[in-house]
Amino acid sequence: MVAHGSPSESQPDQPQRLRIGLFTETFLPKIDGVVNILQLLLRYLASKGHEAILFAPSGGPSEFAGFRVVPVNGITAPYYTELKFNFPRSDSFRTLRRFQPDLVHVLHPFVLGPFGMRMARRLGVPVLASYHTDIARYAAFYGQGFLTGFLRRYATYLHNRATLTICPSSVLRDDLRQQGISRVRWWRRGIDTDLFSAGPVDPKVREELTQGHPEDFLVLNVGRHAPEKGLFELRDRLFPMKGLRLAFVGDGPSHAELRAWYAGTPTTFTGYRYGEDLVAAYRAADLFVFPSTTETFGLVALEAMACRLPVIAARRGGITDTVAHNRNGLLFDPDNPGEIREQVRQMRDNRSLLQSFAEAGWQHALRQDWHSTMDQLVGFYRMALRQHRIFG
């Protein structure tokens, strides 16, 4: 069993170029945390001269960052329309074999990932599995709570068949070890700090997000609109607080229901925004709220911090690696409905406190650059190769 440790235990990128076969359960045009980190990974691998091939659900691009994207078959999950059960096509193994990978990386193995793991064993190469989503916990939000135990046992079985498992937070690492998954390491996450950065407020964006009331206190949330994100609960916790506006940047399976739920409140819905448009939304807001209790990391909170936007988040899951309570932001108890209301009121009424959290969060985010994140990942690739040579 490999003990967990710090990122220094994984070696930085070395001259040897790697050939990596990647299997993902989700990819473009869908947008989520897994897709965002995968795009950064592919761009990084290309910049370092590595070779990659990606097996992903159909409907997306045929190539990305110069790498081939191989479509696979899929059927939509009955209880979650954004999730597909993906299966390789008849020629997928031949395609991977011709590529001659040094190792296979499966991103959150669920249906497609296990096929990728089986192909890797046939080729005699190691498997690195990355854990991104707590599907077992999500099941309860979609009326499938009876599957929770089975899904946890299934995840444990799959990850213990990998040469190495990596996950995005120390909290999740400890949970997975208690769950019985061995050989787990913490893969620290980062963002593009050249893009997500502090800067001036665009008056037009603030005017839009506040519906023509730029003098009001603007609270922002960014991400998918889904039952597990805790967005419905925000309404009665934030309103009817005076002088407050709420803006949702995102979309998802709960979008229409969420709009109806917030009808009659000073709330703006913009749909998804990307790149500089997303950065402009972060910069235009006064406060970022992140009520989700199911996050394995919560990349958007780090993006907000990098734009010098203070964060209030639920004290659950991987977000606690990013938000340090009363140091660079605030954490609230999701079981205490009044706590987030008081924290938002405190931030609204105490601008010096708001600015101190904004500065501390910004300083923290500057140290979380995505290049070091990807350097660490390639170090884990090499670690998996070494372990495979020693232990098989």
Residue 126 inside a domain? The answer is yes
Residues 359 and 379 in one domain: no
Residue 196 inside a domain? The answer is no
Q: What is the mean pLDDT of residues 256-279?
A: 97
Q: How far apart are CA 294 and CA 316, in angstroms?
A: 7
Strand partners, 202: none
Residues 349 and 217 in one domain: yes
Does 173 or 15 have the greater pLDDT score? 173
Residues 15 and 137 in one domain: yes
**Residue 236: its pLDDT value, please?**
95
Residues 26 and 167 in one domain: yes
**Residue 76: its pLDDT value, please?**
82
Residues 130 and 257 in one domain: no
Using DSSP's 3-state secondary structure scheme, residue 172 falls into helix
Q: How far apart are CA 77 and CA 253, in angstroms?
A: 12
Residue with tokens 């734009």: 307
The dihedral through the CA atoms of 100, 102, 107, 110 has a sign that is positive
Residue 155 has pLDDT above 80, yes or no: yes
Sequence length of the chain is 392
Q: What is the mean pLDDT of residues 258-275?
A: 97
197-250 per-position pLDDT tens digit = 999 999 999 999 999 999 999 999 999 999 989 999 999 999 989 999 999 999
Confirm if 42 and 52 have CB atoms less than 8 A apart: yes
Residues 152 and 52 in one domain: yes
Strand partners, 184: 165
Confirm if 103 and 120 have CB atoms less than 8 A apart: yes
Residue 323 has pLDDT above 70, yes or no: yes
Residues 125 and 218 in one domain: no
Question: What percent of the chain stands above pLDDT 70?
Answer: 95
Helix, strand, coil % over all residues of the chain, rounded to 5: 40, 20, 35
53-82 per-position pLDDT tens digit = 999 999 999 999 999 999 999 888 766 666
CATH number of 353's domain:
3.40.50.2000
The CA distances from residue 180 to 55, 150, 274, in Å, are 28, 14, 38
**Residue 139: its pLDDT value, please?**
73
Q: How far apart are CA 45 and CA 23, in angstroms?
A: 15
Using DSSP's 3-state secondary structure scheme, residue 85 falls into strand
Residue 99 inside a domain? The answer is yes
From 6-20, 218-232, 251-265, 282-296, the region with the lowest mean pLDDT: 6-20
Residue 95: name the closest of 126, 59, 68, 64 by CA.
68
Q: How far apart are CA 215 and CA 245, in angstroms?
A: 10
Residue 197 inside a domain? The answer is no
Please tell me the number of Cα atoms within 13 Å of 192 on its side-chain side: 15
In terms of Cβ atoms closer than 10 Å to its own Cβ (0-12, 13-18, 19+), residue 133 is buried
Q: What is the mean pLDDT of residues 260-275?
A: 97
Residues 144 and 246 in one domain: no
DSSP 272: -
Residue 96 inside a domain? The answer is yes
**Residue 135: its pLDDT value, please?**
78
Question: How many separate domains does the chain show?
Answer: 2
Confidence at 7, pLDDT banded by 50, 70, 90: very low
Residue 198 inside a domain? The answer is no
Q: What is the mean pLDDT of residues 132-142?
A: 76
Residue 161: name the closest of 128, 186, 133 by CA.
128
Domain residues for the domain of 143 are: 7-190+370-391
Q: What is the mean pLDDT of residues 86-113?
A: 96
Residues 268 and 315 in one domain: yes
**Residue 294: its pLDDT value, please?**
86
From 49-63, 135-149, 263-277, the region with the lowest mean pLDDT: 135-149
The CA distances from residue 392 to 40, 109, 166, in Å, are 30, 21, 19
Confidence at 146, pLDDT banded by 50, 70, 90: confident
Q: What is the mean pLDDT of residues 361-388?
A: 96
Q: What is the mean pLDDT of residues 27-48?
A: 92
Element spanning 331, H or E: strand 330-332
For the chain, the distance separating the N- and C-terminal CA atoms, rounded to the nearest angstrom, is: 14
Residue 360 has pLDDT above 80, yes or no: yes
Q: How far apart are CA 207 and CA 154, in angstroms?
A: 49
**Residue 2: its pLDDT value, please?**
36
**Residue 145: its pLDDT value, please?**
81
From 31-45, 80-94, 365-379, the region with the lowest mean pLDDT: 80-94
The answer, as to whether pTM is greater than 0.75, is yes
Residue 137 inside a domain? The answer is yes
Residues 178 and 300 in one domain: no
Residue 120 inside a domain? The answer is yes
Residues 294 and 237 in one domain: yes
Q: What is the mean pLDDT of residues 120-139?
A: 90
Q: What is the mean pLDDT of residues 327-342?
A: 94
Phi, psi of 174 (to 5 degrees): -65, -40
DSSP 3: P
Residues 102 and 151 in one domain: yes
Q: What is the mean pLDDT of residues 374-389?
A: 97
Confidence at 11, pLDDT banded by 50, 70, 90: very low
Residue 329 has pLDDT above 60, yes or no: yes
**Residue 379: its pLDDT value, please?**
98
